[in-house]
Amino acid sequence: MKKGYFGDFGGQFIPELLMPPLIELEEAMQTILPSEEFQTRFIQMLKENVGRPSALTYCRHMSEDLGLDLWLKREDLNHSGAHKINNTLGQGLLAKMMGKEVLLAETGAGMHGVATTVAAAMLDMKAVIYMGAEDVVRQAPNVNRMRLMGAEIVAVESGTRTLKDAINEAMRRWLADQENTHYCFGTAAGPHPFPELVREFQQVISKEARQQFMDRTDGALPDVVVACVGGGSNAIGMFHHFVPDASVKLIGVEAAGTGEPGCDNSAPLNLGSSGVLHGMKTKLLQTDAGQIMPSHSVAPGLDYPGVGPEHAHLQDIGRAQYVTINDNQALNAFVTLSRREGIIPALESSHAVAYAIENKDALKGQSVLVNLSGRGDKDLGILDRIL
């Protein structure tokens, strides 16, 4: 396979001026990442600061309600509230050891921005966060958290004013500031080596979950593993150690928006086609003329017209299946998990939970392990609309 590719997908479709920092990063992955110093410090941070291993929770009430065994991998219990912190501490430490002083990031829901800000504070670095102006309004609690912890926040007014445009602007900033700045990319997408690098830091999710599940079930594996897919980092982290287990069905859940035919959505694997954006060849929401279409989801963290290349590949070879859940189904799951289990999921993760609810008949009697990628505190503003 060509370097930086997953089958047909991946690559490095970026301006030449960004190749030197990408090559520098790739070298750091080969030299610094495997070093004992890095590994020791990283594992210690995950334990001491993030709270890993995160719990595996059996949902007693919902399992009864649905007629299946529902398990949650609790990334919502991580410090700062989502899986994003695994990646930002990893990239932050790597950048620090590369001699960088600034962590630059884009953010949609704000969770990656918060996690980058935490990493910067812990590592005595500066955080610069690009966020679509629309998302700045939608996810105000996270903006406040970032401000409190000292991040410089840039509200992006161009384009659709969401994650896609935040990525464009962050790439421009990185072009200009590449000497001191590491672009702490927030998901398993973008140009090589980001998809591999982010997966490396997120695979801890399935490494833990697989062992925890087997410990609780006398060595059995789950029948189905489910995760929501925005850029695809929590999903690839959740899938990785199950990929060789042929008996385990892998389900990625994309956001269908309102779900009406032709509506704006965030489901490139289901409703998109092959193309090139943000440094990678992948599945995209685009017009016939190759212009990127606006995306939509009630969950800002899923609101992205592309997806990490490894997911496009897993879909291509039939190893993972990608389905859609619409806004209302996700909101229903948001409320249901809160009421039945006392766990408030992020709207992003609610899409994954909704898969189990909506497919309860087909899943009857099976064990379904859902990655709860984050907690819903940031989404409480939306309650005014639904309750």
Partner 1 sequence: MNHMHMKINDATQHGKVGLIPFLPAGFPNREQFWKELEALDKAGAAVIEIGMPFSDPVADGPVVEKASLRSLADGIDLNWIFTELKARKGQFNAALLLMGYLNPVYQYGLEAFGADCEAAGISGLILADIPHEESQFVKDAIEPHGVALVPLIGLNTSRERMQLYAENASGFCYFVSVLGTTGQQKALPDRIKEKLAEAKAVFDIPIALGFGIENPAQLARFDGLMDAAVFGSALISHIESGKSSAEFMQPWA
Binding interface with ligand PLP (CB under 6 A): 82, 108-109, 111-112, 187, 228-235, 301-302, 346, 348-349, 373-374
369 binds, among partner 1, ligand PLP, none (CB under 5 to 8 A by kind): none
For the chain, how long is the longest CA-to-CA vector? 56
**Is the Cβ of residue 32 or residue 167 nearer to ligand PLP in the bound state?**
167
Instruction: Judge whether 228 counts as a catalytic residue.
Output: no
How many Cβ atoms from other residues are within 10 Å of residue 381's Cβ?
12
Rounded least distance, CB 101 to partner 1, Å? 17
81 binds partner 1 (CB under 8 A): no
> Is the Cβ–Cβ distance between 182 and 103 less than 8 Å?
yes
71: CB partners within 8 A, 6+ apart: 56, 57, 58, 59, 213, 222, 367, 368, 369, 370
Instruction: Judge whether 83 counts as a catalytic residue.
Output: yes
Binding mask 159-198 for partner 1 (x = CB under 8 A): x----xx--x--xx--xx-x--------------------
Q: How far is CA 284 from CA 272, 276, 277, 295, 300, in A?
A: 5, 8, 8, 10, 17
* Distance between CA atoms of residues 383 and 387, nearest Å: 6
Angle between helices 194-202 and 204-216 (to 10 degrees): 30
15 binds partner 1 (CB under 8 A): yes
3-class state of residue 174 by DSSP:
helix
40 binds partner 1 (CB under 8 A): no
* Distance between CA atoms of residues 128 and 141, nearest Å: 17
Number of residues that bind partner 1 (CB under 8 A): 32
112 binds, among ligand PLP, partner 1, none (CB under 5 to 8 A by kind): ligand PLP
226 binds partner 1 (CB under 8 A): no
How many Cβ atoms from other residues are within 10 Å of residue 9's Cβ?
23
**Is the Cβ of residue 106 or residue 310 nearer to partner 1 in the bound state?**
106
Rounded least distance, CB 132 to ligand PLP, Å? 12
Interface residue with partner 1 among 13, 149, 152, 217 (CB under 8 A) is 13
Which residues are designated catalytic? 59, 83
